Homo-oligomer: A and B are copies of this chain.
């Protein structure tokens, strides 16, 4: 099968890595799409697509996973054309792996095979939890590959996430 795996990867963590490892050997091609590629510097999307690309590339290389195509794709805020939008940027695929019910609904309506991946320990392995731990100064480094820790530290990513999370004191500026 030709697999499409879509996520925001803010940042990539061991939960994502398990999905890649489970499906890569069964797949003829494997495309990992960095969704919401236009987003950065928000609590929900702190890293640019380029930063996420660098993290994912290094994390896969460290595991000797070679055949993944990494493709950043900007959002199109119209669900009725979203499948066509994704199709236009990547080589053909037949199977979409996604944990998101709407993503599965949209691709299923267009005739794709959709797979809901097995759950790993989602109370720990989720981008939201990792960002929460960074903001609250808890330990997060064991939830992501070592190379991802190094890149986040090199770009002062924890400082950025905390800045994005701060309450604005008033209305003086936007």
Contacts and interface: CB of A to CB of B under 8 A. Distances in A.
A3 interface: no
Contacts of A10: 171
Contact of A122 (B81, B122, B169): B169
Count the copies: 6
Interface residues of A, number: 72
A117 B74 contact: no
A91 B54 contact: yes
Contacts of A122: 169-170, 172
Nearest to A40: B80
A99 B69 contact: no
Nearest to A38: B78
Interface in A118-145: 119, 122, 125-129
A7 B50 CA distance: 18
A155 to B, nearest CB: 9
B15 A172 contact: yes
A163 B101 contact: yes
A81 B84 contact: yes
Contact of A89 (B49, B76, B171): B49
Interface string A68-94: 011110101111110111011111100
